[in-house]
Amino acid sequence: MSRLHKTAGVLIAPFLIVAALSGFFYALAPSIESVVYKNEIVASGSGEAHSLDEQIAAAQKVHPDLQVSKVQAFEEGKTTRVLFADDALKSSSYAHAVFVDPATLEIKGDLVQYGSSRALPLRSWLSEGHRRLWLGDAGRIYSELAASWLGALAIMGIYLWFKRRRKAGKMLTLHSKIGAWLLPGFVFLTITGLTWSLVAGENISTLREKMDWMQPKPAATAAADPHAEHHHHMDMTGDMNVMGAADALAAARSAGLTGILDMTPPSAEKPAWTVTEARQDYKLSYDAIAVDPHTGEVVDRVDFKDWPLMAKAVPWLIQLHMGTLFGIYNQVALALLALGLLAVSVMGLWMWFSRPKRALQHLKLSPALVVGAVLYSIIAPLFGTSLVLFFLVDWAVQRAKKAKQAKPRETQEGESIKQPV
């Protein structure tokens, strides 16, 4: 195990160092974002707020050719965000966000926003670097390798430290102690990091679906509309798809939904407003309702308390990983964890390259470790693939060394045969 820990650690350390550096800045991104985009985020107007319908109408003047995909209603003191889908953007996860001052209807900004965490350009850029190295899906291989090996290396390291700590030098002792202190954090980063990785993420999503661990959603079916004959042939475009926004917001607040609300407009497939408590700091529940756009009536409701346990855990864990569950405390903890990972990775490389040169033993795994590695590789295939690659490289190196050592012996034997008796 010692040989595996050292070899895998050296080969994976560059990936861990990049993940730690990018993760450090990404962890602090929510707080940095609130300063950089303060003008867009904070409402400067005073007085009574205009209706949500009026705020949406003001935003639509900025993007008259695009359809509203979502409205994000904040509590007092913040601007309302009206999101517009645009096929020209990178993916459906991106949208144009128009910031409207509720009191004055002033447009405070127009930025591209990413994902359910409401990431603005700076945080989106840092996220892209942390997840993909700005290389698209190909770059996700780096982050998945780092995530899949981080927890495994940490667990192996702790086992080795307890087994041999009396023989450890100062550098190794410090390396091991930091790893021991941060072990829970490293395992946490592995689990949560793999949930949205390229290969393991698909496996985890499939498992969640089979185990019924997915987030339940309200049935967005409107009640019978007495005037349906007047508009049932109309497409849900333009003003039609945001009709009744103010009533939907009022219904949500009356139904007890608090904080930031994600409001998805009606569509041909889902002809009711869907209003959900958004993921936000210090909020651990996400109730949702469906509201008829014609009557303002709540037609369905899904409370967070009724979600499956694992479905509840997923958004909590993801928010913890992103630094958006417990505010600045969450972000500082993640930043310190990133610095700890950077430290143990650099120390590991230093010890490897400064070690005395000696013959290397073959990589070996005990039967228990083999079973564990195989089971883990089912969820994290890149771990298994890279582990096999390490063994193949090690085998090739050992073969080359044996061949090199055999040549001098053959030469010496040949010369001794040629010598006269």
Q: Are strands 288-291 and 261-264 parallel, antiparallel or unpaired?
A: unpaired
**Which residue, 111, 83, 98, 102, is CA-closest to 43?**
102
- Rounded Cα distance, 286 and 305, in Å: 9
Residue 230, pLDDT score: 42
User: What does the pLDDT average to over 237-243?
Assistant: 67
Q: Is residue 224 pLDDT above 60, yes or no? A: no
User: What does the pLDDT average to over 325-332?
Assistant: 97
Task: Please say whether the beta carbons of 1 and 164 come within 8 A.
Answer: no
Quickly list DSSP for 208-253.
Answer: HHHTT-SPP-----PPPPTTHHHHTTS-S-GGGGGTTHHHHHHHHH
What 3-state class would DSSP assign to 416? helix
Span 393-412, pLDDT tens digits: 778 877 887 777 776 665 55
Band the pLDDT of 228: cuts 50, 70, 90: very low
Residue 400, pLDDT score: 82
Q: Which of 1-10, 143-152, 343-352 has the lowest mean pLDDT?
A: 1-10
Quickly list DSSP for 333-358.
Answer: HHHHHHHHHHHHHHHHHHHHHTSPP-
- Amino acid in the structure at residue 38: K
Rama region for 296: left / alpha / beta (φ>0; ψ in -120 to 50; rest): left
Residue owning tokens 């390291």: 157
Phi, psi of 406 (to 5 degrees): -75, -30
- Rounded Cα distance, 56 and 61, in Å: 9
Span 258-269, pLDDT tens digits: 999 999 999 988
Q: Which residues contact 77 (CB under 8 A, 6 or more apart)?
A: 42, 43
**Which residue, 146, 128, 148, is CA-closest to 136?**
128
Task: Please say whether the beta carbons of 16 and 23 come within 8 A.
Answer: no
Band the pLDDT of 223: cuts 50, 70, 90: low
Beta pairing partners, 83: 70, 97
Span 342-388, pLDDT tens digits: 999 999 999 888 876 555 555 566 787 788 889 899 889 999 999 88
Residue 248, pLDDT score: 97
Residue 367, pLDDT score: 80
- Rounded Cα distance, 199 and 259, in Å: 35
Please tell me which of 207-216, 290-299, 354-363 the model is most confident about, judged by mean pLDDT.
290-299
Greater confidence (36 vs 242) lies with 36
Q: Which domains does the chain have, with CATH numbers?
A: 228-307 (3.10.450)
Mean pLDDT of the chain: 88
- Rounded Cα distance, 286 and 301, in Å: 11
Residue 198, pLDDT score: 85
Residue 306, pLDDT score: 95
Beta pairing partners, 98: 82, 110
Please tell me which of 47-51, 106-110, 362-366 the model is most confident about, judged by mean pLDDT.
106-110
Band the pLDDT of 164: cuts 50, 70, 90: confident
Phi, psi of 157 (to 5 degrees): -65, -40
